[in-house]
Structure 1
Amino acid sequence: MSTVMRRKRDAEIVSPFDWMDRVFDEWMRSFPLREPFGFAWDRLGDGLIRVDEYRDGDTWVIRAELPGIDPDEDLEITVADGVLRIDAERRIEDRAEEEGYVRRELRYGSMSRTLPLPDGVTESDISATYRDGILEIRVRAPQRVVVEPTKIKVKKG
């Protein structure tokens, strides 16, 4: 299980080092030698759900590639403590028979991804749809209340 770090968003200043940390963390999660035994070259990043993130007006959109997933049986999306978590279970079986030879390629496994949510987002601000192997999660940005600064009087003495 990986740790979740709060990412800076919107008006907050993001340094180039924050961006590089994020890129490095994502790269490390997909690195094949992270498997405990043997080499997993053929399973490059199987446990990582790859996503595209972008803004569409006031909505944050997350698109995840999840082919072969039954969203009713194999997909769970949860929100807790300002973090969105996507968990999926893949069961794909490919069978080919040719001149007395049978080849089976089974792919089973769980995948997950955790993404920090903007401050103030509630469960009612989130909706999800699944179509043609793509999960799309839309997070409506909370309305920000602009508070005028107030002056504090300084007393002498």
Structure 2
Amino acid sequence: QKLNAKNVLPNTLVFSQAELPGIEYFIIQAQLRWTGHLVQMPHHCIPHQIFFGQLKERRRHLGAPRKCFKDFLKSNLKKCHIEPQQLETLASDRQKWHERCRSGLQGFEAERILELNQKWEWHTAKITLQASNHICLHCNRSCVSRAGLLAHVR
């Protein structure tokens, strides 16, 4: 059987049937867990000092500097609807931090699936519009392109 867009399942459907979130969910979850661990660490620990430290000798490049851990963390916190300014106060209470991360990740995953489903619907609608434009007058076969229709008529 030929593979085309009509008989292909979207990834969101496969993941929902397997009851699994996307890979980005797991990456953000691990990053938030590690961040909570760093915030709760004592101040004399080296990972805590590195996380809260500033660059002394070098400066970040102007224009489009390379993203560091804190930049990715800030964007992921925003994706999970957690204010970056509240990070230390939320992460200091372990139970609240876990609840907030869990609810934020669930919201993020729901928004991601909704966006992917909208893209899939747009993609399939575009394909059906293309397919219905070129129909053979003799046998009512629909062709994807005008060239395909001309080749079919020959």
* Short-chain TM bin: under 0.3
Identify the structure with the greater strand proportion: 1
**Normalised TM-score (structure 1):** 0.25
> What TM-score do the two structures reach when normalised by structure 2?
0.25
Which is helix-richer, 1 or 2? 2
